[in-house]
Amino acid sequence: MKAALDTNVLIYAEGFGDAQRNGIAVSAVDAVSRLNGDLPAQVCAEFYFATTRKFKLDRAQAVARLQFWRTHLNVRALSVKGLEDALELARDNAFQIFDAIILVTASEGGCQLLLSEDMQDGFVYRGVTVVNPFATKTHALLKSYLAP
């Protein structure tokens, strides 16, 4: 099973936020990396923005962290058709456009799982299930994904 990451999971894996989420995020990112997962380009942009603005990370450090993640994950850009699909997804399902871009990018990459804290947990789009790795009850798909 192939998976993709949302920005918040990557941010927690970098140690921003509480220790409990950090541990969960590190396990999730390790699994996604080990299983040749995707990192949507939109996530890279959001990571850079959030870490430099909200967490005051030096810009060069933010770029260095993204370069590290690029060696462990497949950075995937959205196609032009994907942009059309993301606009429809945002319109029809009340998604934020940036979340829709991430979800459509995961779909275009052949992912079955998108790990995200702030999208609709359990939402399925074109074979991609959104799963909150920080939920109190671990989703069955995530359990099977994290199993060695």
- CATH number of the CATH domain containing 110: 3.40.50.1010
> Edge to edge, what strands does the sheet with 38-40 contain?
74-76, 38-40, 3-5, 113-115, 128-131, 124-125
Of 48, 69, 68, 66, nearest to 57 (Cα)? 48
In angstroms, the CA 48 to CA 60 distance is: 10
**How many domains, in total, are found in the chain?**
1
Give me 54's structure tokens: 């909200």
In angstroms, the CA 61 to CA 94 distance is: 34
Q: Give residue 51's identity as a one-letter amino acid code.
A: T
Residue 50 burial (10 A CB sphere; 0-12, 13-18, 19+): middle
Q: Tell me the residue range of the domain where 110 lies.
A: 3-146
- Provide the pLDDT for residue 37: 96
- Provide the pLDDT for residue 96: 96
Q: How far is CA 116 from the centre of its chain?
A: 6
Proportion of the chain in helix, strand, coil states, percent, rounded to 5: 55, 10, 30
- Provide the pLDDT for residue 46: 98
Mind listing the pLDDT tens digit of every residue in the chain (148 residues)? 999 999 999 999 999 989 999 999 999 999 999 999 999 999 999 999 999 999 999 999 999 999 999 999 999 999 999 999 999 999 999 999 999 999 999 999 999 999 999 999 999 999 999 999 999 998 998 988 888 6
Whether the CB-CB separation of 38 and 111 falls below 8 Å is answered with: yes
Q: How far is CA 44 from the centre of its chain?
A: 9
